[in-house]
């Protein structure tokens, strides 16, 4: 009879160096020396500490076995933390960065070697892991409850190479943050495209805003096509200037295809180059160059977008499918000014916002029909209302009135731009005009479901009108499309979670949002107080409530005789909740926190 195969259940850790080929090509001797030092000073001591055994060494990685899955995961987390801390003085392009996968599974034993499904899943998880992270299987995660001082975020059902079944997976949040703040979600079965920031090749480095604007418009135009998943700007822009293999970038962004390019602006002409890369194979699929006069820049955007879509989706886009494109401003100078303002618009200091307003107003002086400049101005006025209109009624708040008027003008000028409709929907919600808010955000989402900003705004509106279950799905889509989302996404996400009764996640999320300057976030502190009140964490709730009262008092522009009761009425009003039961849910939490609600 044939000898019986020896098997055992064990924990497997697989590691791999990100961009190993690039590092070796740049400095072979230095890279090999750094890897040897890494093994001697980090990997081997930590493996010994957590009782791990090296099964196999490769040039840029290893496979290790642990008798305990707790030890394997703890070791993986310790490796990543120690490695990151030890390379702060090394230039980013020369740092050794690892991916680590951990699995608990059945293995086949052959002497000192291990093989089989348990090993294969660990190595495939490592390949699917973000740079510098740890990705563990659901089987491993299920054994960890209460046994490690780590937080985990659900990474979805992973489709791993040569693994027939989907594998449930979790990421370790190495900075101690809760999963709800950074969770990414598995992409749909559509081609996913990431557009990297086009390189500014002009002599003037200050012209980077122009190349950024071209990139943004290519992203926006691509996102109009339902056949594609398009990764958001601030996710792909995080890789600006990094000497990373395009395959690593594609993996980090969950994008099968990556677009690269450059912009050279000289005099009245512009040259744009663009390339489409298969991020799995690292192969160039398409490249082209566009030499145009500046007044034809909008035609360039359309040509690039259509060429990429034709290549990726293997189809020719009919003119009728792209008829709902944004109107081009009549003068390139207006567009130039708009790009400068847009580049600064996420900087919320008074000085920056004043500069943004001036640039948008100059754009409109040149082209009074430029709808996107009106929406940009609308947000500057609403930002001013948010900070400077605490306690003032809507009807007396000139900034809020102006913001709505500008958004309405934008829709009148360009009813075919989904972001214009999203902006008007946002402004209508702040006026508690729920029907119009829902109508315009519905239209925006129907026109462009691949825009994460539209998805998060739609989610917020749905929560406010009493449909938080629907809004949660849209918020998850926004996070999926924009894995490096801006911090303000979590402002809306926290409200959705609260209305779903997920108070613990709300408290953790808002603690992180407000940790640096809680007094700057009176609305967040009120919702955090309410969440803690519902959780029975009364001391924390009262502390948050006290900060809320002190903060509102410092910002208050309403009746000077007002006190905590009026402050509560104000925060309930600007939470824009339509249903009485949702208002009562918020007020009950605030009462539990000790506020007169």
Nearest CA to 218 among 207, 204, 228?
228
Say if pTM beats, i.e. exceeds, 0.85: no
Report the CATH number at residue 112.
3.30.70.1230
Q: Using the 3D structure, point to which of 151, 176, 201 is the last residue of a domain.
A: 176
Domain count, the chain: 3
Is residue 380 in a domain?
Answer: yes
Whether the CB-CB separation of 456 and 474 falls below 8 Å is answered with: yes
User: Which residues, in sequence order, are CB contacts of 342 under 8 Å at separation 6+?
Assistant: 213, 216, 376
What token pair was written down for 589?
């939490």
CB atoms inside a 10 Å sphere around CB 243 = 13
Low-confidence winner among 16-25, 217-226, 396-405, 472-481 (lowest mean pLDDT): 217-226
pLDDT higher than 90, residue 577: yes
Task: Identify the band that residue 296 occupies on the pLDDT scale cut at 50, 70 and 90.
Answer: low
Q: Is 218 helix (H, G, I), strand (E, B) or coil?
A: helix
pLDDT computed for residue 182 by the predictor: 32
pLDDT higher than 90, residue 488: no
Task: Identify the band that residue 176 occupies on the pLDDT scale cut at 50, 70 and 90.
Answer: very low
Is residue 64 in a domain?
Answer: yes
Task: Identify the band that residue 300 occupies on the pLDDT scale cut at 50, 70 and 90.
Answer: low
Residue holding tokens 């008074």?
A: 350
pLDDT in tens, 39-49: 899 999 999 99
Is residue 212 in a domain?
Answer: yes
**347 and 277 inside one domain:** no
pLDDT higher than 90, residue 269: no
pLDDT higher than 80, residue 237: yes
Quote the CA–CA distance of 182 and 513 in Å, as a whole number: 12
Residue 40 DSSP label:
I
pLDDT higher than 60, residue 261: yes
Whether the CB-CB separation of 428 and 436 falls below 8 Å is answered with: yes
Q: The domain containing residue 354 runs over which residues?
A: 328-415
pLDDT computed for residue 530 by the predictor: 98
Higher pLDDT, 152 or 357: 357
Low-confidence winner among 137-141, 194-198, 340-344 (lowest mean pLDDT): 340-344
Q: Using the 3D structure, point to which of 305, 322, 339 is the last residue of a domain.
A: 322
Quote the CA–CA distance of 482 and 183 in Å, as a whole number: 10
**20 and 158 inside one domain:** yes
**49 and 140 inside one domain:** yes
Q: What is the mean pLDDT of residues 361-367?
A: 93
Q: Using the 3D structure, point to which of 291, 322, 353 is the last residue of a domain.
A: 322
pLDDT computed for residue 382 by the predictor: 95
What token pair was written down for 428?
């209508």
Quote the CA–CA distance of 498 and 169 in Å, as a whole number: 26
Task: Identify the band that residue 297 occupies on the pLDDT scale cut at 50, 70 and 90.
Answer: low
Q: What is the 3-state secondary structure (H, E, C) of 421-474?
A: HHHHHHHHHHCCCHHHHHHHHHHHHHHCCCCHHHHHHHHHHHHHCCCHHHHHHH
User: Which residues, in sequence order, are CB contacts of 152 under 8 Å at separation 6+?
Assistant: 136, 141, 144, 170, 171, 172, 173, 179
pLDDT computed for residue 321 by the predictor: 32
**248 and 380 inside one domain:** no
**98 and 234 inside one domain:** no
Is residue 122 in a domain?
Answer: yes
pLDDT higher than 50, residue 183: no
**156 and 219 inside one domain:** no
pLDDT computed for residue 316 by the predictor: 23
Higher pLDDT, 267 or 304: 267
Nearest CA to 98 among 70, 144, 60?
60
Q: What is the mean pLDDT of residues 536-541?
A: 96
Mean pLDDT, all residues of the chain: 84
Evaluated on CA atoms 124, 130, 133, 138, the torsion sign reads negative
Q: What is the mean pLDDT of residues 358-363?
A: 94
Higher pLDDT, 219 or 454: 454
Is residue 267 in a domain?
Answer: yes
Give the N- to C-terminal CA distance of the chain in Å, as an integer: 79
**137 and 235 inside one domain:** no
Q: What is the mean pLDDT of residues 243-254?
A: 80
Phi, psi of 176 (to 5 degrees): 85, 0
- Angle, vertex CA 361, rays to CA 356 and CA 367, nearest 5: 130
Quote the CA–CA distance of 266 and 271 in Å, as a whole number: 8
**35 and 151 inside one domain:** yes
Highest mean pLDDT among 147-161, 304-318, 327-341, 482-496: 482-496
**15 and 114 inside one domain:** yes
Whether the CB-CB separation of 220 and 326 falls below 8 Å is answered with: yes
Quote the CA–CA distance of 326 and 410 in Å, as a whole number: 11
pLDDT higher than 90, residue 324: no
pLDDT computed for residue 307 by the predictor: 54
Residue 304 DSSP label:
H
Please report, for residues 87, 403, 441, 451, the alpha-carbon distance to residue 446 in angstroms, rounded to integers and kept in the order given. 46, 24, 8, 10
Report the CATH number at residue 254.
3.40.50.10610
Is residue 466 in a domain?
Answer: no
DSSP string, 114-154: EESHHHHHHHHHHHHSPTT-EEEEHHHHTT-TTTSS-EEEE
Please report, for residues 183, 256, 382, 477, 484, the alpha-carbon distance to residue 188 in angstroms, rounded to integers and kept in the order given. 16, 12, 34, 10, 18
Q: Is 172 helix (H, G, I), strand (E, B) or coil?
A: strand
* Beta strands in 333-465, from DSSP E residues, in sequence order: none
pLDDT in tens, 56-92: 887 778 999 998 899 999 999 999 988 888 877 787 6
Report the CATH number at residue 394.
1.25.40
**54 and 12 inside one domain:** yes
pLDDT computed for residue 177 by the predictor: 34
**211 and 270 inside one domain:** yes
Looking at the chain, the whole-number percentage of residues with pLDDT higher than 90 is: 42
Is residue 474 in a domain?
Answer: no
pLDDT computed for residue 422 by the predictor: 96
**270 and 158 inside one domain:** no
pLDDT in tens, 84-128: 888 777 876 678 889 999 999 889 888 888 888 889 999 889 888
Is residue 301 in a domain?
Answer: yes
């Amino acid at each position: 009879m044939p000898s019986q195969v020896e098997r055992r259940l064990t924990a497997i850790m697989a590691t791999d160096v990100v961009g190993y080929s690039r590092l070796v090509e740049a400095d072979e001797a230095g890279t090999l020396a750094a890897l040897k030092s890494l093994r001697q000073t980090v990997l081997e001591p930590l493996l010994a500490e957590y009782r791990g055994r090296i099964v196999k060494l490769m040039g840029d990685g290893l496979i290790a076995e642990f008798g305990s899955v707790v030890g394997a995961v703890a070791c993986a987390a310790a490796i990543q933390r120690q490695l990151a801390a030890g390379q702060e003085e090394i230039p980013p392009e020369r740092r050794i960065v690892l991916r680590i996968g951990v699995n608990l599974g059945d293995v086949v034993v052959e002497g000192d070697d291990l093989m089989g499904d348990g090993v294969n899943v660990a190595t495939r998880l490592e390949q699917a892991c973000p740079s510098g992270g740890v990705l563990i299987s659901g089987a491993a995660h299920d054994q960890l409850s209460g046994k490690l001082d780590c937080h985990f975020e659900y990474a979805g059902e992973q489709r791993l190479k040569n693994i027939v079944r989907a594998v449930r997976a979790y990421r370790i949040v190495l900075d101690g943050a809760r999963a709800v703040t950074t969770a990414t979600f598995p992409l749909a079965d559509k081609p996913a495209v990431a557009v990297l920031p086009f390189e500014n090749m002009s002599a003037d480095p200050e012209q980077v805003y122009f190349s950024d604007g071209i990139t943004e418009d290519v992203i926006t135009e691509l996102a109009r096509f339902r056949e594609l998943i398009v990764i958001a700007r601030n996710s792909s822009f995080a890789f600006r200037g990094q000497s990373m293999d395009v395959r690593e970038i594609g993996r980090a962004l969950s994008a099968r295809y990556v677009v690269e390019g450059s912009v050279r602006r000289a005099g009245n002409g512009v040259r744009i180059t663009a390339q489409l890369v298969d991020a799995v194979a690292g192969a160039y699929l398409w490249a082209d160059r566009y030499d145009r006069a500046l007044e034809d820049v909008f035609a360039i955007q359309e040509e690039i977008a259509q060429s990429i879509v034709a290549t990726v989706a293997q189809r020719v886009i009919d003119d009728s499918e792209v008829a709902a494109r944004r109107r081009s401003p009549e003068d390139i100078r207006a567009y130039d000014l708009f790009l400068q303002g847009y580049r600064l618009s996420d900087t919320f200091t008074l000085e920056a916002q004043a500069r943004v307003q001036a640039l948008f107003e100059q754009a409109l002086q040149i082209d009074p029909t430029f709808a996107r400049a009106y929406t940009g101005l609308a947000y500057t006025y609403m930002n001013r209302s948010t900070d400077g209109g605490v306690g003032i009624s809507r009807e007396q708040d000139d900034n809020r009135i102006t913001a709505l008027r500008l958004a309405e003008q934008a829709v009148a000028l360009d009813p075919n731009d989904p972001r214009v409709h999203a902006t008007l929907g946002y402004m209508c919600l702040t006026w508690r005009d729920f029907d119009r808010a829902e109508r315009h955000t519905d239209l925006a989402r129907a026109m462009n479901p691949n825009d994460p900003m539209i998805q998060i705004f739609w989610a917020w509106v749905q929560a406010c009108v009493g449909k938080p279950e629907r809004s949660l799905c849209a918020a998850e889509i926004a996070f999926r499309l924009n894995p490096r989302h801006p911090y303000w996404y979590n402002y809306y996400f926290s409200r959705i979670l609260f209305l779903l009764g997920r108070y613990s996640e709300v408290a953790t999320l808002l603690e992180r949002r407000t940790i640096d300057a809680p007094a700057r976030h009176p609305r967040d502190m009120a919702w955090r107080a309410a969440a803690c009140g519902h959780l029975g964490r009364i001391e924390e709730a009262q502390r948050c409530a006290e900060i809320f009262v002190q903060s509102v008092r410092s910002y208050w522009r309403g009746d000077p005789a007002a006190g905590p009761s009026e402050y509560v009425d104000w925060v309930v009003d600007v939470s824009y909740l339509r249903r009485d039961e949702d208002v009562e849910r918020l007020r009950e939490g605030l009462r539990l926190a000790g506020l007169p609600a």
